[in-house]
Amino acid sequence: MEYFKDIKKINYEGSKSNNPLAFKFYNPDEVILGKTMKEHLKFSMAYWHTFTYFGGDQFGGASKSHHWDNQDPIKNAENRVYAAFEFMEKMQINYFCFHDVDIAPRGETLEETNKNLDRIAAIIKSEMSRTGIKCLWGTTNAFGDAKFVHGASTSCNSTVFAYTAAQIKKAMDITMELGGENYVFWGGREGYETLLNTDTEMELDHLAMLLKMAAEYKKKIGFKGTLLIEPKPKEPTKHQYDFDAATVMGFLRKYGLEKDYKLNIEANHATLAQHTFMHELNMCRINGMLGSVDANMGDPLLGWDTDRFPTNVYDTTLAMYEILQNGGLGTGGLNFDSKVRRASIDEKDLFYAHIAGMDTFAWGLKAAAKLIEDGVFKDFIENKYRSWKSELGLKIEKGEIDFEGLEKYALENGVTPNESGRQEMLESILNQYIYNC
Ligand code: XLS
Ligand code: CA
Ligand code: CA
């Protein structure tokens, strides 16, 4: 059966095309800096937002449905697999990401839930071999159910910790079975509302314990994918433990887990933490911890996690600038953890949304590649820091001079005049590159 009958495969038609169901900038086989666009941009569909989100928000329930839904939950899950693979094939999206609960319904017991997962995973596997589409990452939903009211691994209830571990074990097994390239941990309820009832020290120790066990289990089963932690500062809890990239890296180092994990950076989580997307990518890059990206954007006028499809070329250019400098994302990719708006009630909107996101990243890639090729900011930055190549600079960096020596230097030589940072000029050049790519 064909699920999206009115829609044919989305193709590249160039920037002059006025066909809304065509790519204007994403040209999968176009070569940029020695690699094709589709190699640079490992786009992934998020199973949850695209296939199990029906427009609900804090003020109202579903605003739309899928025409193949409304049957029994297992049949529903099966149909969803075929619809999802048809969607990805038509969109030319070669990867997907999933939570356990997105692909199969929860059963009455854990055993029944696991059986449901096995049944649907087998269908996914056969669709993967039919189409060549791959799994970017899997994860578990250890936040939605009421048992996680006090947290998952950070719960005061040790039986909830055990249940969380059991869920993760199964989700990791399935991710491995599907050849997943990564496994993600986002701690939806791993945080707190008030310190009046919270032992933060114990909770953080328990979170680390769970992550240690997961890393050990990965080795035990021979899972080759990368383990990723996804920072987010708030929502649903007031203070999430995995606040931002710097917090997560400090946490991993404290518990000796920095070799076992990398980070999955989400654009909207960066802005919720009052950082730019670029900042979070940069912090990971300079620490060798950049693993993967959740591609979306927030809304400057709304203070919450809006998960909008990315349409801001300025942001994607700067993001791709960091990603290219990182030498790509390794096993990671660009997962559209993005949802169409509540009022976008037509199934076609799913296509328009992904086209917009893919085109926006393609444009960003082109502009960023040109900036790198021309060494625009690199040359400027090298020149800006040139005093560190002087005798004094090299002595400081090598630890060959102490406070007394520096005092002597300052007394004898004073300070050379500073030069302009030229921010406005650089921003203007950046615009020029974005306009002209
Ligand atoms: C929620 C998170 C979530 C993770 C996967 O804000 O972005 O969707 O990516 O659990
Ligand atoms: Ca995410
Ligand atoms: Ca989000």
* DSSP run (H or E) holding 96: strand 95-99
* Whether the bond into 231 is cis, omega within 30 of 0: no
- Which atom, in ligand 1's list, is nearest to the CA of 99? 10
Across 276-284, average pLDDT: 99
The CB of 294 under 6 Å from ligand 1? The reply is yes
Between the CA of 306 and the centroid of ligand 3 the distance, in Å, is: 7
Q: Which residues contact 422 (CB under 8 A, 6 or more apart)?
A: 380
Q: Residue 229 — pLDDT band, cuts 50, 70, 90?
A: very high
Angle of helix 200-221 versus helix 245-254 axis, rounded to 10: 80
Is 99 a known active-site residue?
Answer: yes
pLDDT of residue 380: 97
Q: Which of 100, 102, 242, 359 is flagged as catalytic?
A: 102
Q: Which of 99, 206, 279, 354 is flagged as catalytic?
A: 99
Residue 409 φ then ψ, to 5°: -60, -45
Structural contact between residues 150 and 161, judged by C-beta atoms closer than 8 angstroms = no
Number of other residues whose CB lies within 10 A of the CB of residue 183: 22
DSSP string, 368-429: HHHHHHTTHHHHHHHHHTGGGGSHHHHHHHTT---HHHHHHHHHHH--PPP----HHHHHHH
Structure tokens of 267? 């654009």
d(CA 192, CA 215): 25
pLDDT of residue 71: 82
Structural contact between residues 309 and 297, judged by C-beta atoms closer than 8 angstroms = yes
Is 102 a known active-site residue?
Answer: yes
What three-state secondary structure class fits 217?
A: helix
Quick one: how far is CA 280 from the chain centroid?
11
Q: What percent of the chain has pLDDT over 90?
A: 98
Q: Atom 8, ligand 1: which residue's CA is nearest?
A: 337
Number of other residues whose CB lies within 10 A of the CB of residue 389: 11
Nearest alpha carbon to residue 341 among 8, 36, 55: 55
d(CA 412, CA 396): 17
Between the CA of 265 and the centroid of ligand 1 the distance, in Å, is: 10
Across 300-327, average pLDDT: 97
The CB of 181 under 6 Å from ligand 1? The reply is no
Single-letter amino acid code for the residue at 207: L
Across 63-87, average pLDDT: 94
pLDDT of residue 407: 98
Ligand nearest to the CA of 236: 1
Tokens 């937002």 belong to 49
Across 353-374, average pLDDT: 98
Structure tokens of 388? 């560190």
Does residue 138 register a pLDDT over 90? yes
Does residue 70 register a pLDDT over 80? no
Q: Residue 334 — pLDDT band, cuts 50, 70, 90?
A: very high
d(CA 148, CA 192): 12
| Residues around the ion ligand 2 (C-beta < 5 A) | 266, 294, 337
How confident is the model over 183-209, as pLDDT tens digits?
999 999 999 999 999 999 999 999 999
Number of other residues whose CB lies within 10 A of the CB of residue 154: 27
pLDDT of residue 437: 85
Single-letter amino acid code for the residue at 402: D
Mean per-residue pLDDT of the chain = 98
Burial class for 13, CB neighbours closer than 10 Å (0-12, 13-18, 19+)? middle
pLDDT of residue 10: 98
Between the CA of 378 and the centroid of ligand 3 the distance, in Å, is: 32
**Ramachandran category for residue 163: left, alpha or beta (phi over 0 → left; psi -120 to 50 → alpha):** alpha
Across 328-355, average pLDDT: 98
Pocket test for ligand 1, best of 164, 336, 337, 339 (most atoms within 8 A of CB): 337
Between the CA of 266 and the centroid of ligand 2 the distance, in Å, is: 6
Q: How far does the chain reach from its first CA to its final CA, in angstroms?
A: 41
Q: Find the Cα–Cα–Cα–Cα dihedral 342, 347, 349, 355, rounded to 10°.
A: 140
